[in-house]
Amino acid sequence: MSYMVAVSVIIVNYNGEAYLQQALDSLRAQTFRDFEVLLVDNASTDGSVDNLKTEGVPGYRFFPQSRNLGFAAGNNVAAKQSGALWLALFNPDAVANPDWLERVMAGTERHPVASMFACAQYALDDPSIMDGAGDCYLGFGIPWRGGFGLPAAPLAEGECFSPCGASAVFRRTVFEAHGGFDERFFCYCEDVDLGYRMRLAGERCVFLPDAVIRHAGSGISGRASTFAIFHGTRNRIWTYAKNTPALLLVLTLPGHIAITLAILLRGLKTGQAGPTWRGIVAGLAGFGGLRKDRRFGPPVRQVSLGELVYAMAWNPKRLLDRRPVIRPLRPPRGTDRQAARPVAAGK
């Protein structure tokens, strides 16, 4: 199969006027040139796309929307317009090192059977602070961005649970085979949900420490905003309940409930209990609809519970400390997965 370009870099923008131009400028400076930039604007009202300087940005294409579709559906819109081998997601509040895509493509060549990659993220204004080393997943149903807010330290290439959506890289055919992001999530945890679904189908995520971006980290939506807390809480419950195999769900549910209550109680001290509680209620109320509508998985599980458990974290202290969880790379299981497999519903 021939491809139009090697990589489609997808940016989903919503009122990112303070950041978007520098994101595009960093893509213009990439040493790897076989890529295109697909910009989706979710009906911004701040003029962020009105006077962009896009000259020299490879393959720039613009897809304005009449309403705010959210991060999940916005990325899906762009992915459907791509004929590339790889999709590289890139937040509008991020800046890429000039060799970011070059390092990504070198990683895909080192790991030809991998279909998702996570990049090293550092704080936009202070590169001595980590923004993330892939997403981690506590087996009791709580995700976190590995290393967020910690001092930068050398990290080895290895396996993490899933890529952070700010700089996630997916093989396009596999992304499409899984239906892309679950659009009901709108934003937050949609990247963990997709990573979980791909893992159930036998895919792994490779962390590339030398593929570097700098990221403001919810610079647009606000990390501790009511909006972020509500959607993060609701979607965390949906990710856990939707994807976790029945036996593992039974074993981990008491821990999930205990941690969720602890988060709610902490919210009483921080003033965040209201949106946390509303997120819990919405997560429970909406779960029945998720189970009936299987457009976004989960797929039939093709990995053992042992392999799934290996990919997760089990020490809650890791979550509390926000430590990265990067495991040694193992030999690939089964056959080469470069061609997308059909994805069926059910477990």
* pLDDT, tens only, 28-46: 999 999 999 999 999 999 9
**∠ CA 123-97-163 to the nearest 5 degrees?**
65
Q: What is the DSSP letter of 184?
A: G
Using the 8-state DSSP alphabet, how is residue 333 labeled? P
Give the angle 209-214-181 at the CA atoms, nearest 5°.
Answer: 80
Beta strands in the chain, from DSSP E residues, in sequence order? 7-13, 35-41, 61-64, 86-89, 94-96, 116-123, 130-133, 135-138, 142-145, 158-160, 169-171, 205-215
Confidence of residue 230 (pLDDT cuts 50, 70, 90): very high
Average pLDDT over residues 242-264: 96
Half-sphere exposure of 204 (CA within 13 A, CB side): 27
For residue 52, name the pLDDT band (cuts at 50, 70, 90).
Answer: very high
* Domains in the chain: boundaries: 7-215, 226-298
Count of residues making up the chain: 347
Bridge partners (DSSP) of residue 160 are 205
Greater pLDDT, 3 or 234 = 234
d(CA 39, CA 68): 14
Q: Supply the pLDDT for residue 341.
A: 45
Task: Choose among 192, 160, 305, 283: nearest CA to 229.
Answer: 283
Q: What is the pLDDT of residues 78-130, one digit of tens each?
A: 999 999 999 999 999 999 999 999 999 999 999 999 999 999 999 999 999 99
Hey, what CATH class is 7-215 in?
Answer: alpha beta
209 token code pair? 């420490």
> If 0-12 CB within 10 Å is exposed, 13-18 middle and 19+ buried, where does residue 336 land?
exposed
Measured from the Cβ of residue 213, the count of other Cβ atoms closer than 10 Å reads: 23
Average pLDDT, stretch 211-219?
Answer: 84
SS3 content of the chain, % helix, strand, coil (to 5): 35, 20, 45
Residue 93 and residue 11: Cα distance in Å, rounded?
Answer: 10
* Band of residue 287 on the pLDDT scale cut at 50, 70, 90: confident
